[in-house]
Copies of this chain bind each other. A is one copy, B any other.
Amino acid sequence: MTVRTSVKILLLGLGHVGQAAGEILAEKGDWIRRRYGLSTEIIGVADSSGIVFDGNGRGIDVERAINAKRRSGRVSEYGKDEGLRLAGTSELEVVLDETQPDVLVDVSSNDEAFSWHVAALERGVAVVTSNKPPVALHYKELITLSRRNETPYLFEATVMAGTPIIALLRRALLGDTVTGIRAVLNATTTFILTMMENGANMDEAVKKAREMGILERDPRKDLDGIDAGYKAAILHDVAFGPIEFERVDVTGISGLREEDVRGRNVRLVASIEDGRAEVRPIDLPDGHPLAVTGTENAALIETDLLGELLIKGAGGGARETASGVVSDIIEASLSLRA
């Protein structure tokens, strides 16, 4: 490939996924240049301590930013050391106007990020995100804005980490009509249910999940099925068109008793059809393809021509999630060039 395009990225969020995305873009920079004719450059990075960027729109040293974040917990410390500029996240619009990135990458878990996505799309800045609530709660507005401004809005990593279920629904099977999807989309409940299957009680299993750091800060998001509900809504959005999140019928695992689970294959299953999305625990037959273990997610997609299609892969993990983010960054960059 001979074309060389330089892609300027503003990275919001420098937790596990943000760090992994920054590291992958650095490690695989040459590979991405050779394969796609793209060179990526991170021109700003943010966490809750603020947005750090170079006043002259130059790239920043993402490895040093990650080190500062790991050392101090605050990316603003990196900015101070390097004499860079610092702005609050509430000033995002000003930073967008000053730095003019090509892609805004939101890998934060900020529930208010909807306004960031709007601000970017309104300026023709592509958005790539792993942050579920903005997509699940505001898909219709965001996708309408994305189409009107011919600016990519991509969110592969919101469902099944980098396992490409969104790409598959959006860009493969073009002649098939999807009739239904059943999927296990939340690995934390799989972990808890698997422990209970083998004799633990709910409290022990939840405690173990918290110790392992796989429980959301607000545990109800996992236990009450809200995280799985977000993902079910997003799959509905992509496969069938926008659904209001309030219409997703969610039952979590909190109400399950030990005797409902012990010795069985109960999983928190999302079932999606045109106009309907539901999440609830289901006792699956032995050997059922959705009876996953560990951090694996799985989805059964049913279509008119192909019948049943199974896709199964990582449902979590920093690099596994960053895989989806980086894939979307490349897709957005290629379409900006086109």
- Which A residues form the contact surface with B (CB < 8 A)? 24, 28, 31-32, 36, 161-164, 167-168, 171-177, 287, 289, 303, 305-314, 319-320, 322-323, 325-327, 329-331, 338
Contacts and interface: CB of A to CB of B under 8 A. Distances in A.
Contacts of A32: 175
Contact of A171 (B28, B172, B309): B172
Q: Give the copy number.
A: 2
Contacts of A168: 164, 167-168, 172
B164 A173 contact: yes
B314 A307 contact: yes
Contact of A173 (B162, B173, B177): B162
Closest 6 A/B residue pairs (Cβ)? A175-B326, A164-B172, A167-B172, A305-B323, A309-B313, A174-B330
Contacts of A326: 174-175, 305
B287 A305 contact: no
A309 to B, nearest CB: 4
Contact of A327 (B174, B311, B320): B174
Contacts of A323: 173, 175-176, 303, 305-306
Given A167-B172, A171-B172, A177-B31, A306 B320 contact: yes
A158 to B, nearest CB: 15
B331 A174 contact: yes
Given A174-B327, A175-B327, 10 more contacts: A28-B175, A28-B177, A162-B173, A162-B176, A164-B173, A174-B326, A307-B313, A307-B314, A310-B312, A338-B338
A23 to B, nearest CB: 11
A276 B167 CA distance: 28
A328 to B, nearest CB: 8
A326 B174 CA distance: 7
A238 to B, nearest CB: 13
Given A162-B305, A287-B287, A172 B313 contact: no
A163 B330 contact: no
A313 B320 contact: no
Given A175-B24, A175-B327, A327-B176, A163 B309 contact: yes
Nearest to A287: B287
Q: Which of A32, A174, A176, A322 has its CB near the most chain B CB atoms (within 10 A)?
A: A174
B306 A163 contact: yes
Contacts of A162: 173, 176, 305-306
A188 to B, nearest CB: 18
